[in-house]
Amino acid sequence: MKSYILWICLVLITNIVPLVCCAGDEDTRNKVEQMFPLLDLFASSIAIVENDYAIDVSATNLIYGALHGMLRSLDPHSEFMEPEDLEQMKVETEGKFGGIGIEIGFRDDYPVVIAPIEDTPAFAAGLMPNDRIVKIGDISTRGMSLGDAVKLLRGEPGTEIQLTIQRNFESIRELKEIRITRTIIKVTKIRDAHILDPTNGIGYVRVTSFGLDTHIELQNAMDGLATQGMKSVIVDLRNNGGGLLKEAIDMSDIFLAAGKLIVSTKGRIEQQNKEYYATTSPKKHPIPLALLVNGASASASEIVCGAIKDNRRGIVVGIKTFGKGSVQTVIPIGDNNCALRLTTAKYYTPSGVCIHGTGIYPTIEVKIPLEDEIKLIEKRSSAYKNYSAESATEKEKSTYEELRRFRDVQLDRAVDVLVALDFMKTELK
């Protein structure tokens, strides 16, 4: 049995070697060869478990379990992906999937909510950015990988899940249980495109995620606003947890002049060291630009933010972003549709700032209290948009009126800056 397990391990390593050594890296080959003596320890452990464990376990499950543990020990974003994991990733990328509707990250050994997705069960249940998920059902999430957390959050539409969350905002310290019913999540990437200030020609577009063709939808929205007299634009990236790198690059390209550096990636191997530049695409919008960001703006949002800020292409208004700037590469392995989702590099802004763990500081910092943060999220909810005075209860009417009077100070500041820029441009000619 031990020799059989060792043979399986050798096959696995044989499959891995061509992937990691494809560039002919002699140092990498030597490192791989040094692993072989340790395989005897691994094979012996599997053989003992398979022979002596209280119930029957298969070698496949043991090896899969070992691979899950190995990748999990690296960082929260690296994981071993079984065939169903790969399929789920494809579904998520296409922007339609089953679940509760949150973007999650990882901090202080726990998964945290980066942002609830609008018009989803999580949004309706009142989950907030930075809520720490301490339990999913009866299972503690401490030390859990993001992949495992996502698996537990996923489920058949119509089924219920209980989350225990810890909220730490300013003076608020609370632990609460929230029951949420899963549904099919459909992500609308571009929202609320309209002329915000007709007098000054200020347009507004909110980008909620970076899925397939987000940049095309943004381009179409901006083209439409241009026909309505838009002279400057505010792009709202608040509570946008990110998405595809390509979409962040293509979105930045809409605003940046050809040849401007958008983002770079740096890793341990040469293939991961890349730079991405703006193209000569004719579909540019060289108008004055302001970005809105907050602590729930992450990943792709931060790439766009860094590109615009460092190239002095526009102003960034809000508070420091989340700080998720690591690159994950999906590497197929073996012949059974498995893969490694491995952190291979980190993102750097054009000025050389590493996004990961640092985030992007705005050009103009505008903080808002927790109460206003909650009101902003509530005002974006479908309940507010579909409000009917005829059928509303007195409490709903009171809430609606309060939200209607709510002033978004971050948005107001962005408007003020764009108005001032237009004034200076006119007066200083």
Q: Identify which of 167, 114, 92, 127 has the alpha carbon closest to the alpha carbon of residue 381.
A: 127
Q: What pLDDT score does 423 carry?
A: 80
Q: What pLDDT score does 27 carry?
A: 67
Q: What pLDDT score does 16 carry?
A: 45
Residue 309 CA to its chain's centroid (Å)? 20
CA dist list (Å): 142 to 136, 184, 343: 11, 27, 21
Half-sphere exposure at residue 20, Cβ-oriented, CA atoms within 13 angstroms: 19
Q: Which of 23-27, 154-158, 278-282, 406-410 has the lowest mean pLDDT?
A: 23-27
Q: What pLDDT score does 91 carry?
A: 63
CA dist list (Å): 197 to 67, 208, 228: 55, 22, 11
Report yes or no: 263 and 348 within 8 Å, Cβ to Cβ: yes
Q: Report d(CA 277, CA 242) in Å as an integer.
A: 19
Number of residues assigned to the chain: 429
In which band, very low, low, confident or very high, does the pLDDT at 170 lie, cut at 50, 70 and 90? low
Q: Report d(CA 323, CA 405) in Å as an integer.
A: 32
In which band, very low, low, confident or very high, does the pLDDT at 13 lie, cut at 50, 70 and 90? very low
**Residue 175 pLDDT more than 90?**
no
Q: What pLDDT score does 28 carry?
A: 63
Higher pLDDT: 105 or 33? It is 105
Q: What pLDDT score does 1 carry?
A: 46
Kindly name the residue from 78, 297, 299, 301 that is annotated as catalytic. Answer: 299
pLDDT, tens digit (0-9, with 9 covering 90-100), for 220-252: 999 999 999 999 999 999 999 888 899 999 999
The chain-wide mean pLDDT, for the chain, equals 85
> Is residue 335 classed exposed, middle or buried when 0-12, 13-18 and 19+ CB atoms within 10 A define those classes?
exposed
Q: What pLDDT score does 427 carry?
A: 58
324 is catalytic: yes
pLDDT, tens digit (0-9, with 9 covering 90-100), for 296-349: 899 999 999 999 999 999 999 999 999 999 988 888 887 778 999 999 999 999
Kindly name the residue from 119, 250, 310, 408 that is annotated as catalytic. Answer: 310
Mean pLDDT of the region 139-161: 87
Half-sphere exposure at residue 267, Cβ-oriented, CA atoms within 13 angstroms: 17
Mean pLDDT of the region 57-82: 88
Kindly name the residue from 209, 324, 326, 375 that is annotated as catalytic. Answer: 324
Domains of the chain: 2-57 (no CATH), 96-186 (2.30.42.10), 190-368 (3.90.226.10)
Q: What pLDDT score does 405 carry?
A: 84
Q: What pLDDT score does 172 carry?
A: 59
**Residue 109 pLDDT more than 60?**
yes
Task: Identify residue 268 by its one-letter amino acid code.
Answer: R
Q: What pLDDT score does 6 carry?
A: 43
- 231 backbone dihedrals φ, ψ, rounded to 5°: -110, -20
- Count the Cβ atoms, other than its own, within 10 Å of residue 35: 13
Higher pLDDT: 392 or 354? It is 354
Higher pLDDT: 102 or 390? It is 102
299 is catalytic: yes
Higher pLDDT: 125 or 320? It is 320
- 222 backbone dihedrals φ, ψ, rounded to 5°: -70, -40
Task: Identify residue 54 by its one-letter amino acid code.
Answer: A
335 is catalytic: no
Sign of the Cα pseudo-torsion (299, 302, 308, 309, in order): negative
% pLDDT > 90, the chain: 45
**Residue 182 pLDDT more than 70?**
yes
In which band, very low, low, confident or very high, does the pLDDT at 86 lie, cut at 50, 70 and 90? confident
Q: Report d(CA 293, CA 392) in Å as an integer.
A: 33
pLDDT, tens digit (0-9, with 9 covering 90-100), for 244-300: 899 999 999 999 999 999 999 999 888 899 999 999 987 888 999 999 999 989 999
**Secondary structure of the chain in the HEC alphabet?**
CHHHHHHHHHHHHHHHHHHHCCCCCHHHHHHHHHHHHHHHHHHHHHHHHHHHCCCCCCHHHHHHHHHHHHHHCCCCCCEEECHHHHHHHHHHHCCEEEECCEEEEEECCEEEEEEECCCCHHHHCCCCCCCEEEEECCEECCCCCHHHHHHHHCCCCCCEEEEEEEEEECCEEEEEEEEEECEEEECCCEEEEEEEECCCCEEEEEECCECCCHHHHHHHHHHHHHCCCCCEEEEECCCCCCECHHHHHHHHHHHCCCCCEEEEEEECCHHHCEEEECCCCCCCCCCCEEEEECCCCCCHHHHHHHHHHHCCCCEEEECCCCCCCEEEEEEEECCCCEEEEEEEEEEECCCCCECCCCCCCCCEECCCCHHHHHHHHHHCCHHHHCCCCCCCCHHHHHHHHHHHHCCCHHHHHHHHHHHHHHHHHHHCC
**Residue 24 pLDDT more than 60?**
no
Report strand pairing: 261-267 vs 102-107.
Answer: unpaired
Among 59-63, 246-250, 269-273, 403-407, name the most confident range: 246-250
- 374 backbone dihedrals φ, ψ, rounded to 5°: -65, -45
**Residue 11 pLDDT more than 50?**
no
Q: What pLDDT score does 371 carry?
A: 80
Half-sphere exposure at residue 222, Cβ-oriented, CA atoms within 13 angstroms: 23
pTM for this model (two decimals): 0.79
In which band, very low, low, confident or very high, does the pLDDT at 115 lie, cut at 50, 70 and 90? confident
In which band, very low, low, confident or very high, does the pLDDT at 177 lie, cut at 50, 70 and 90? very high
